[in-house]
A and B are shown apart, each in its own frame.
Chain A
Amino acid sequence: EAGVTQSPRYAVLQEGQAVSFWCDPISGHDTLYWYQQPRDQGPQLLVYFRDEAVIDNSQLPSDRFSAVRPKGTNSTLKIQSAKQGDTATYLCASSPLNTGQLYFGEGSKLTVL
């Protein structure tokens, strides 16, 4: 079974630039999460979807961050006007309905100079 796939694996930006991260969850998993993990810290939830619907985006810095999952499968997380404080690994995870177990991708490591 294929795991959660993320791309790109690495991105280096200057402040003010934009970047998009893409995630392909495990087939059949209806719930998809985006987490931000600063270096040496735990993952912090940004947003999660059930199918194409946003269930909770309360932790998403809405002025510069956006996330979509238009067909309930793949998802894109976009950061506009990046800041140095956005430097972190962005983890995508998926979960089958009502199981409670998260399957993480390898992450997209962002460095903002």
Chain B
Amino acid sequence: QQKVQQSPESLIVPEGGMASLNCTSSDRNVDYFWWYRQHSGKSPKMLMSIFSNGEKEEGRFTVHLNKASLHTSLHIRDSQPSDSALYLCAASRTGYQNFYFGKGTSLTVIP
């Protein structure tokens, strides 16, 4: 059973546009969320993490978390072709170091 669900599976946005990616956990025990980015043929690298309700912004990237619904979203403004990648959401529980990943959202930014 997939503990982390991501949507959409794939997303195409024009250069300069906004990309919005969603992630929900079906495990009510999770309370930490991470977003990783994986360029084609490369390993995943952490983009952002969020542990508290609310919003966190780093440059063009904004992450939201609603702990009541176990839903997090990643928003990329002014998308660039170099943002084209597989975006992975991961979740874990306090006191544990199991990280469960979703299947990812494949983002393509068209020049």
Contacts and interface: CB of A to CB of B under 8 A. Distances in A.
Interface of A: 31, 33, 35, 40-45, 48, 50, 55-56, 91, 95, 100-102, 104-107
A22 B99 CA distance: 21
Interface residues of B, number: 24
Contact of A100 (B4, B34, B102): B34
Contacts of B43: 91, 104-107
Contacts of A56: 98
A106 to B, nearest CB: 5
B101 A42 contact: yes
Q: Give the dominant DSSP class at A's interface.
A: strand
Contact of B46 (A35, A44, A102): A102
B108 interface: no
A40 B34 CA distance: 19
Contacts of B99: 33, 45, 100, 102
B62 interface: no
Contacts of B45: 104
Contact of B101 (A40, A44, A100): A44
B88 interface: yes
A100 B92 contact: yes
